[in-house]
């Protein structure tokens, strides 16, 4: 006898095409004893129809009153909105992306409703958690898309061509920030035949960049290692020196893809207006950090800014532009997380587990995580 029920709501934030579960993951969860309820058309923008969910064993209903009651946990991509929260019964759990600094009001509303909220943004990056690492799965999509978008915006070929009409040199691509998204952008640009160089403030990135056949740009700067494999927040002095050293590398590039981020902080400014002005006409900057302030001074999220013939694309929510596979991977992450929440066929989160405790944003109207509490109280 089991007693686990998952509810999946449609995403209502404009421009969000992903969904928190897909038929493949429903099959896996149903086989593990879950009842899965899905709001009608939740998957339609990711190419998953209601019939596909039903065939996988889900109950699909247009009525949230049929989807949500009795759910142990609601899965979403984006945090529930203030309009959605009153529909979620008190005491239910919710799992989604959720940033304590950016989503403060939503988190407070969930506390008031005694919702237990878990955020993929807070997943500890330990090897046991890799199958639940939604930040990485979505960053993989973002990096891939960034390279493809750069290739289509650039009025040149990426690969070298030796033709009867003459030889075309390969495009010079520079990737700033060689984390999960940056490495995927490097791999994709390499597959398209570009000449790729990359830079990161973490020393471990050098080997990873080189293993993809790209050149690591070594600057005369101290490494900026934080905890958990992340970069630490850098001083304005460090960033100013970095900009001074990187300027000529930017000017020599046909394409610059920026992916640099510091968890929970504004993205560091790496590419100034002056550097964009120094790039050749037709060059392209694709800024993956557009939604967190931008790595480029010129960036406007969701827009193309053309300056002196250089196009700066501020990518907003890039995984949503490839929703089928982004949702497929996200749903796998959700299913792995849900498996961790079950004991003897019951939904029974173990708050002594490092992953459960690390991801928990609110519980019983409180914020159990000190780091989250300090951000919320700041």
Kindly list the residues in this chain that would bind ligand NAD in the complex (CB under 6 A): 125, 127, 130, 133, 135-136, 139, 176-182, 199-202, 204-205, 229-231, 234, 242, 259-263, 268, 270
> Which of 227, 377 has the CB closer to ligand NAD?
227
Q: Smallest distance from the beta carbon of 218 to ligand NAD, in angstroms?
A: 13
CB of 247 to ligand NAD, least distance (A): 13
Which of helix, strand or coil describes residue 276? helix
Q: Coil, strand or helix: which one is 330?
A: helix
Specify the residue, 149 or 176, whose C-beta has the smaller distance to ligand NAD: 176
Distance in angstroms (rounded) separating the CA atoms of residues 198 and 186: 8
Report in angstroms how near the CB of residue 324 gets to ligand NAD at its nearest. Answer: 22
Angle at 292 between CA 377 and CA 337, to 5 degrees: 75
The C-alpha angle 205, 121, 312, rounded to 5 degrees, equals 60
What kind and span of H or E run contains 355? helix 354-359
Residue numbers annotated as active site:
125, 130, 133, 136, 230
The three state secondary structure string of 1-36 is CCEEEEEECCCCCCCCCCCCCCHHHHHHHHHCCEEE
Helix (H) or strand (E) holding 313: strand 310-314
Closest approach, Cβ 6 to ligand NAD, in A, equals 24
Cβ nearer to ligand NAD, comparing 180 with 257: 180
Return the number of the residue (126 or 348) whose C-beta is nearest ligand NAD. 126
Give 159 or 226: the residue with its C-beta nearer to ligand NAD.
226
- If the CB atoms of residues 115 and 262 are measured against ligand NAD, the closer one turns out to be 262
Closer CB to ligand NAD, 16 or 233, in the complex: 233
Compute the least distance from the CB of residue 239 to ligand NAD, in Å. 6
Quote the least distance from Cβ 233 to ligand NAD, whole Å. Answer: 9
Virtual torsion, Cα 78, 82, 86, 89, nearest 10 deg: 30
Kindly write down the DSSP assignment for every residue of 77-123, as one continuous string: SSPPPTTTGGGSPTT-EEEE---TTTTHHHHHHHHHTT-EEEEGGG-
Q: Which residues face 5 on adjacent strands?
A: 35
Strand partners, 271: 296
Instruction: Give me the least distance between CB of 46 and ligand NAD, in Å please.
Output: 23
287, containing H or E segment: strand 284-287
Closest CB to ligand NAD: residue number: 179
- In the DSSP assignment, the letter for residue 44 is G
Q: What residues have CB less than 8 Å from 251, skipping those under 6 apart?
A: 275, 278, 279
Beta bridge partners of 231: 225
């Amino acid at each position: 006898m089991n007693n686990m029920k998952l509810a999946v709501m449609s995403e209502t934030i404009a421009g969000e095409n992903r969904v928190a579960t897909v038929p493949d993951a429903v099959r896996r969860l149903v086989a593990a004893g879950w009842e899965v309820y899905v709001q009608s058309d939740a998957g339609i923008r990711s190419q998953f129809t209601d019939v596909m969910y039903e065939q996988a064993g889900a109950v699909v209903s247009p009525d949230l009153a049929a989807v949500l009651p009795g759910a142990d946990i609601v899965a979403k991509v984006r945090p529930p909105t203030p309009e959605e929260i009153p529909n979620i019964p008190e005491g239910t759990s919710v799992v989604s992306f959720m940033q304590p600094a950016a989503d403060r009001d939503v988190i407070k509303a969930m506390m008031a409703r005694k919702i237990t909220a878990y955020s993929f943004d807070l997943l500890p990056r330990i090897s046991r958690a890799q199958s639940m690492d939604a930040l990485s799965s979505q960053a993989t999509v973002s990096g891939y898309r960034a390279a493809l978008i750069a290739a289509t915006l650039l009025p040149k070929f990426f690969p070298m061509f030796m033709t009867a009409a003459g030889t075309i040199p390969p495009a010079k691509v520079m990737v700033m920030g060689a984390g999960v998204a940056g490495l995927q952008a490097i791999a994709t640009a390499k597959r398209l035949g570009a000449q790729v160089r990359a830079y990161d403030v973490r020393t471990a990135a050098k080997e990873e960049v080189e293993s993809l056949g790209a050149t690591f740009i070594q600057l005369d700067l101290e490494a900026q290692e934080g905890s958990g494999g992340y970069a630490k927040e850098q001083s304005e002095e460090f960033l100013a020196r970095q900009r001074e050293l990187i300027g000529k590398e930017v000017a020599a590039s046909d394409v610059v893809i920026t992916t640099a981020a510091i968890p929970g902080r504004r993205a560091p400014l790496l590419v100034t207006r002056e550097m964009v002005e120094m790039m050749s006409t037709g060059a392209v900057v694709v800024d993956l950090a557009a939604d967190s302030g931008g790595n480029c001074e010129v960036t406007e999220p969701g827009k193309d800014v053309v300056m002196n013939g250089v196009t700066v694309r501020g990518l907003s929510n890039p995984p949503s532009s490839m929703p089928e596979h982004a949702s497929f991977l996200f749903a796998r992450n959700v299913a792995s997380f849900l498996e961790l929440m079950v004991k003897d066929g019951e939904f029974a989160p173990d708050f002594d587990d490092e992953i459960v405790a690390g991801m928990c944003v609110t519980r019983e109207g409180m914020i159990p995580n000190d780091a989250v509490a300090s951000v919320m109280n700041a």
